[in-house]
Amino acid sequence: MTKKIEQFHPENDAMRVSVLSEALPYIQKFAGRRIVIKYGGAAMARNDLKQAVFRDIALLASVGAQPVVVHGGGPEINQWLDRLGIKSKFLNGLRVTDKETMDIVEMVLVGRVNKQIVNGINQVGALSVGLCGIDGCLIQARQLDNTSHGLVGEVAKVNIDVIEPLLSKGYIPVISSVAASNDGGSLNINADTVAGEVAAALGAEKLILLTDTLGILKKENDPSSLIKHLRLSEARDLIKTNIVSGGMVPKTECCIRALAQGVKATHIINGRIPHALLLEIFTDAGIGTMLTSRG
Ligand code: ADP
Ligand code: MG
C-alpha cells in the first residue's frame, strides 16, 4: 500500500524521469511547430490554474515549440461592466457590443488581461510580447453585416509579418482579440475566431481552445456524452442540429475554418483541469474533443 502511494507521488524522481522520457517523441514532433492556444474563461478564473497555464506555455517554448496565445476575458469584462452598471448581452454566443461596452472591452482585454498574461509568462522564465489586432495591423477586420451585434468584427486578414520576427527570436506572442474598424474605431472579435484565423495564417500544427467544459458534449451537463473525436462534416451537423449552441458555436466554427485552411488538428479542452495543455500535447490519449479534417 505504502509502495503504491510512493510510486505515484509527484516527488518520486523515477516517475518524473520516466514521464519526461515518454514525452520525447512529442517534444520532437512539436519542435519548431506552431501551437495556437486560445486561453480564456475557466482557466483564467483561478490563480492556481493561471499559474499552471503560464508554466505549460513556458515549457512548450523551452522544448522548442512555438506557442502563440490568443486570449479572451469574458468573466473580467463582465465584472467591470457590472461595476459600471452596463448590461452584458449575448446573441448566438457573441457579445453584443455598443460603444460604451467596446470601451470597457478594450480597456479590460488590451490594458489589463493581456498584460497579466504577458507578465505571468515572463515571471516563469519565458519571454512574451503582448499585442492586439491593431498593432502592426495584425488583424484586419470588418464589422459583422448583421448590425444587431454592434461593434463586433470578423477577421478579414491576419498579417503574420508582425509575429514572425517575434517567433523567430523565441518570443511568445500574446494576442487580444480587438481590431481596428475602417473608420479608425475599435471592433470586438470573438477570441476563438481570432485564434482560428491566426492558426490558419501561421500554418499551425495545432489549435487548442481552453474552455469550461470537457469538450463538445452530445448532451449538455452530461460528461459521459463527451465526443472525443469529430470529423469536419460531423462538426457542421452538430451546429445545424443545435447540439452545439451558445459559446460553443464560435469554437466549433473556428475549428472547422482552421482545419479547412490546413491546420492539422484542433482541440477543445477543459481549462479547469490543471496542466490540461500538457496532457493534450504530450500524451497519446489526449483530453477533450479533437477535430480533424479526416480520419
Ligand atoms: P469561453 O469563455 O471558453 O469562450 P463560452 O461560454 O463562450 O466559453 O463557451 C462554452 C460554453 O458553450 C459551455 O460552457 C456550454 O454552456 C456551451 N455549450 C453549448 N453547446 C455545448 C455542447 N454541445 N457541448 C459543450 N458545451 C456547450
Ligand atoms: Mg466564448
Query: Which cell is 251 given?
Result: 469554437
Ligand 1: which of 248, 249, 254, 289 to mutate, most ligand atoms within 8 Å of CB?
248
> What is the rounded end-to-end Cα distance, in angstroms, of the chain?
42
> Does the pLDDT of residue 65 top 80, yes or no?
yes
pLDDT, tens digit, 9 for 90 and up, residues 66-90: 999 999 998 899 999 999 999 988 9
> Does the pLDDT of residue 5 top 60, yes or no?
no
Confidence tier at 3 by pLDDT (50, 70, 90):
very low
> Does the pLDDT of residue 1 top 70, yes or no?
no
Helix (H) or strand (E) holding 192: helix 191-202
Q: Can you tell me which atom of ligand 1 is nearest the CA of 215? A: 25
According to DSSP, the residues that pair with 268 across neighbouring strands are 209, 289
Q: How far is CA 58 from CA 39, 107, 112, 125, 213, in A?
A: 14, 26, 20, 7, 24
> Does the pLDDT of residue 210 top 50, yes or no?
yes
One-letter amino acid for residue 79 of the chain: Q
**Mean pLDDT across the chain, nearest whole number?**
92
Query: Concatenated DSSP letters for 249-284?
Result: HHHHHHHHHHHHTT-SEEEEEETTSTTHHHHHHHSS
- State residue 7's pLDDT score: 53
Q: Can you tell me which atom of ligand 1 is nearest the CA of 250? A: 7
Rounded distance from Cα 251 to ligand 2 centre (Å): 7
Q: Is 226 in the pocket of ligand 1 (CB under 6 A)?
A: no
Rounded distance from Cα 34 to ligand 1 centre (Å): 25
> Does the pLDDT of residue 8 top 80, yes or no?
no
Rounded distance from Cα 59 to ligand 2 centre (Å): 26
Query: Which cell is 276 given?
Result: 490540461
Average confidence (pLDDT) over 234-257: 95
Q: Is 248 in the pocket of ligand 1 (CB under 6 A)?
A: yes
Which of residues 74 and 4 earns the better pLDDT score? Answer: 74
> Does the pLDDT of residue 2 top 50, yes or no?
no
> Cβ contacts of residue 121 below 8 Å, gap of 6+?
54, 57, 58, 69, 127, 128, 172, 174
Q: How far is CA 215 from CA 114, 248, 286, 289, in A?
A: 25, 9, 12, 5
- State residue 12's pLDDT score: 76
- State residue 285's pLDDT score: 81
Average confidence (pLDDT) over 4-16: 65
Q: Is 72 in the pocket of ligand 1 (CB under 6 A)?
A: yes
What is the Cα–Cα distance from 110 to 271, expressed in whole angstroms? 21
pLDDT, tens digit, 9 for 90 and up, residues 33-61: 999 999 988 888 889 999 999 999 999 99
> Does the pLDDT of residue 25 top 50, yes or no?
yes
Confidence tier at 92 by pLDDT (50, 70, 90):
confident
pLDDT, tens digit, 9 for 90 and up, residues 110-151: 999 999 999 999 999 999 999 999 999 999 999 998 778 999
- State residue 18's pLDDT score: 82
Average confidence (pLDDT) over 204-226: 95
Average confidence (pLDDT) over 270-279: 93
- State residue 14's pLDDT score: 84
What is the Cα–Cα distance from 119 to 126, expressed in whole angstroms? 10
